[in-house]
Structure 1
Amino acid sequence: MKKIRTLIVDDEALARRGLELRLGRHEDIEIVGEAGNGREAFHAISALRPQLMFLDVQMPGIDGFELLRMLPAAQIPLTVFVTAYDHYAIAAFAASALDYLLKPVDDARLDESVERARSRLAARKTEDHYERLLKFIATLPGTHRSKVDGLLGDEDPRAGSKLTIKDGHRLLRIDADSIRWIDAAGDYMCIHANDETHVLRGTMQQLERRLDPHKFARIHRSAIVNLGRVKEMRPHLNGEYFLLLDSGHELKLSRSYRDKIKLLT
């Protein structure tokens, strides 16, 4: 039986323990870790690579939504929101998360969430989950939501240090050096620039043409990295590499893009 690597994130120890006990009824659920806040969850996701996450929405410091905004899209597990408040459940529906659970968690609803995770993983349909979460991230406070027509095509990527996008009726100039990485899921892209995330519709090819190829490299079909923000490169057994950024985020350099290693050495 193939196990589903599962992470529980909740600032209440009793809530984490309750979920752990109830999930223990499912033989294919393997609890690989727990986290009591968003920062712990961020590091746990990077280190443990869970496939499924039960995520409390309201936590002190970095809450559940902020955690999602911090993560590279490819690292976001299938996410079940857990909340004590109905208005957060409505937001979870808008996000098209895998599921949501209201506290106190009902056993039957928990079983439904687990079954949804099984079905999604069996069908290997996780990319659409990332895309829906990116759409949701675009609606969160602190996120700059930009539109597909925002990439101005007349820019010379070698001529300046700014990336210009259209945000509604405004032109937004992003300092290229502030960009750590860009990732994509479906028709949505996230530009992670210091503490801000700019979400826009478009293609990686469009954005790649706007960036200086001496400073930015495609490391995955859905990721571009600022070479100057890479702190460490770690090889993986399957021929891939993991890149550690100065922010603590970790990105994967896939085998298809191994020729980009020379840019990092």
Structure 2
Amino acid sequence: MNPNLRVLIVDDEPLARRGLELRLARHADVTIVGQAGNGHEAFLAIARVRPDLLFLDVQMPEVDGFALLRALPAEQLPMTVFVTAYDQYALDAFAASAIDYLLKPVDDARLDQALARAREALASRAAGQHRDRLLGLLAQVSGRPGLSLVDALSGDVAAPCDKLAFRDGDRTVRLDPADVRWIDAAGDYLCIHATTETLVLRATMREMEQRLDPRRFVRIHRSTIVNRDCVRELRSHVNGEYFVTLQTGQTLKLSRSYKDKAALLH
């Protein structure tokens, strides 16, 4: 028996969303858990309903599809089918990183194929592999390909209060540590969620932790580091876990293994 696919549709065109909704209704194992008309709505919906599969319009005003994905915590990245009007060159990259892609107007046969791939990935527990490939794509479209941390980071390790430096081709991008809200990891990639952008690079949490001032940045999970100055609320949960709510409204989990760090966030 196929597992049920919980789907979120994200497109700024109401008719496009409705068209996908009608086509997906042909599949008894698909449940549409929500729809969003822009990146901000989608960000909130993904955190709320945690879909298995995202049908994502790449070209949306203000917050496009890639910006949305970069803003998500890595553990929330769902399997993604891009819905796009991009040319064949871009589609090759999408196909290598996402579950599938669909060209507008959406063809029923191609939609069926995309769903079949998603079902197979969910049944074989391969969704995490797709997430790692998706993070690799985000690193490329950010203009920051997957570098090792040794190559990607520069600056004085002995001076953690200095600006964080990231090498971007021939230039160096510097971030004020105060602008870094939280960092999360998936596989060999890190997502650095800053005030104005989210950077994706190839690195490990251990390497990044060595770069950060422990007086400001607190490891709250094996895959999450948070800027304590950005924490608005700490709320206890079951089994010694906590929910950490940031000033932006984003909620992160402080795991039981790091419960001793809760005192640092008060």
**TM norm. shorter chain > 0.5:** yes
Q: Which residue of 2 aligns with 1:64?
A: 65
Whether 1:104 and 2:121 are equivalent positions in the alignment is no
In structure 1, C-alpha distance between the alignment counterparts of 2:83 and 2:243, rounded to whole Å: 31
Contact 1:86 1:102 in 2 (8 A): no
Residue 22 of structure 2 aligns with an amino acid whose one-letter code is L
The root-mean-square deviation of aligned C-alpha atoms, in Å, is 2.4
Q: Which residue of 2 aligns with 1:228?
A: 229
Change in Cα spacing, 1:61 to 1:153, as seen in structure 2 (3 Å) is closer
Q: 1:42 Cα deviation (Å)?
A: 1.0
Change in Cα spacing, 1:5 to 1:166, as seen in structure 2 (3 Å) is same
**1:25-83 per-position Cα deviation (integer Å, ceiling 9, x unaligned):** 22221111101111111111121111211111122221211111211111111110112
> What percentage of aligned pairs have identical amino acids?
60
Q: Which residue of 2 aligns with 1:17?
A: 18
Q: Secondary structure at the match of 1:138?
A: helix
**1:162-203 per-position Cα deviation (integer Å, ceiling 9, x unaligned):** 223333344443211111111222222122221123332221
In structure 2, C-alpha distance between the alignment counterparts of 1:129 and 1:238, rounded to whole Å: 31
Whether 1:49 and 2:27 are equivalent positions in the alignment is no
Q: 1:99 Cα deviation (Å)?
A: 0.7
Q: 1:144 Cα deviation (Å)?
A: 4.9
In structure 1, C-alpha distance between the alignment counterparts of 2:145 and 2:177, rounded to whole Å: 18
Residue 89 of structure 1 aligns with an amino acid whose one-letter code is L
In structure 2, C-alpha distance between the alignment counterparts of 1:235 and 1:49, rounded to whole Å: 21
Moved more, 128-137 or 228-237: 228-237
In structure 2, C-alpha distance between the alignment counterparts of 1:129 and 1:249, rounded to whole Å: 24
Q: Secondary structure at the match of 2:141?
A: coil
Residue 156 of structure 1 aligns with an amino acid whose one-letter code is A
Residue 182 of structure 1 aligns with an amino acid whose one-letter code is I
Q: Which residue of 1 aligns with 2:168?
A: 167
Change in Cα spacing, 1:47 to 1:236, as seen in structure 2 (3 Å) is farther
**1:58-114 per-position Cα deviation (integer Å, ceiling 9, x unaligned):** 2222121111121111111111011234355344235x1111011222222212211
Change in Cα spacing, 1:128 to 1:58, as seen in structure 2 (3 Å) is same
1:70-109 superposed matches below 5 A: 70-87=71-88, 88-93=90-95, 96-109=97-110
Q: Secondary structure at the match of 1:139?
A: helix
Q: Which residue of 2 aligns with 1:155?
A: 157
Q: Secondary structure at the match of 1:147?
A: coil
In structure 1, C-alpha distance between the alignment counterparts of 2:109 and 2:24, rounded to whole Å: 11
In structure 2, C-alpha distance between the alignment counterparts of 1:58 and 1:172, rounded to whole Å: 26
In structure 2, C-alpha distance between the alignment counterparts of 1:225 and 1:117, rounded to whole Å: 32
Whether 1:247 and 2:248 are equivalent positions in the alignment is yes
**1:127-166 per-position Cα deviation (integer Å, ceiling 9, x unaligned):** 222222222112335x5557322334852255x2422333
Contact 1:151 1:207 in 2 (8 A): no
Q: Which residue of 1 aligns with 2:258?
A: 257
Gaps of 5+ in 2: none
Q: 1:229 Cα deviation (Å)?
A: 0.9
Q: Which residue of 2 aligns with 1:196?
A: 197
Change in Cα spacing, 1:161 to 1:82, as seen in structure 2 (3 Å) is same
Change in Cα spacing, 1:57 to 1:170, as seen in structure 2 (3 Å) is closer
In structure 1, C-alpha distance between the alignment counterparts of 2:159 and 2:217, rounded to whole Å: 10
Normalised to the residue count of structure 2, the TM-score between the two structures is 0.87
Moved more, 250-259 or 197-206: 250-259
Residue 190 of structure 2 aligns with an amino acid whose one-letter code is M
In structure 1, C-alpha distance between the alignment counterparts of 2:249 and 2:218, rounded to whole Å: 19
Q: Secondary structure at the match of 1:133?
A: helix
Q: Secondary structure at the match of 2:130?
A: helix
Residue 178 of structure 1 aligns with an amino acid whose one-letter code is D
Contact 1:146 1:166 in 2 (8 A): no
In structure 1, C-alpha distance between the alignment counterparts of 2:40 and 2:157, rounded to whole Å: 37
Q: 1:210 Cα deviation (Å)?
A: 1.3
